Every structure is written in C-alpha cells, then in structure tokens.
Structure 1
Amino acid sequence: MTVGTQMQQAIAGIQSAAATMKTFELETQDKSAKKDFHQIATNLDEALQILQGRQNFIQQEEPQYKQC
C-alpha cells in the first residue's frame, strides 16, 4: 500500500467520523452532548484540513503517490 493510498484512507476515515459527530449533534436533545459532538466535529474538520494539505504536499513532491 502506498503512502498516497494510506493518506486517502485516513482522510476518508476522518471525514466519516466528522459526519457521524455532526449527525449525533443534530439528533441529540441534550445540550451538553450537542456541544461535545460539535466540538469533536470541529476538531476532526481541522485535522482533515491538515491531512489534506499534507496529501497535496506529498502529491507535489512525490508524483508517484498521486491517486489515480
């Protein structure tokens, strides 16, 4: 498995987790839980941006890792 493939899998996993937290936030009535889910989703979105930037860097520096 290439670094590019591993990075794409990590990104997909974080996207899925963030979407799940956003769904939980919308579905719960508990204000404390809603706040927690929102914060977790925000943290995951920030991590996602960092990983996507890293993926772009890898693709520019190492074209063989670019996803087809």
Structure 2
Amino acid sequence: MTVSTKLQQTVASAESVMANLKSFALETQDQNAKQMFQSMAQSQKTIVDSLNARLQYVQSQEPQYKQ
C-alpha cells in the first residue's frame, strides 16, 4: 500500500469523524455538549485540511500516485 493510498484512507476516516461530531452537535439538546461537539468538529476540520494538503503534496511529488 502506498503512502498516497494510506493518506486517502486517513482523510476519509477523518472526514467521517468530523461528520459524526457535527451530527452529535445537531442531535443533542445539551448546550454544553453541543458547543463541545462543534468545537471538536472545527478542530477535526483543521486536521482534515492538513491531511488533504499533505496528500496533494505527496501526489505532486509522485504523480504516479495521483488518482
């Protein structure tokens, strides 16, 4: 398995976590929990963005891994 493939899988997993956190924020009535989930989702978005940037870099350096 290539680094690019592993990064793509990691991005997908990180996006799934972010979606779950957003869903939890929408589903809860507890305002403290809602705020916590929203904050965590925002932090996760930063992680997703960083992973995507790294993936783009890897793919630009190794074009054979670009899909």
Q: What interval of TM-score do these two structures reach, taking the shorter chain for normalisation?
A: over 0.9
**2-side partners of 1:8 and 1:57: how far apart?**
12
Matched residues, number: 67
Query: How many percent identity over aligned positions?
Result: 43
- Specify the code of the residue in structure 2 equivalent to 1:48: V
Q: Deviations over 1:24-65 (max 9, x none)?
A: 000000011001100110000011011101100000011122
1:21-40 pair list within 5 angstroms: 21-40=21-40
Amino acid at match of 1:6: K
**Helix, strand or coil at the partner of 1:29:** coil
| 1:42 pairs with 2:49 | no
Q: Counterparts of 2:49 and 2:36 in 1: how far apart (Å)?
A: 20
Does the residue aligned with 1:23 lie in a helix, a strand or coil? helix
1:1-68 paired onto structure 2 within 5 Å: 1-67=1-67
- Structure 2 unmatched runs, 5+: none
In structure 1, the gaps of 5 or more residues are none
Cα RMSD of the aligned pairs, angstroms, is: 0.7
Partners of 2:51 and 2:61 lie apart in 1 by: 15
TM-score (ref. length: structure 1): 0.94
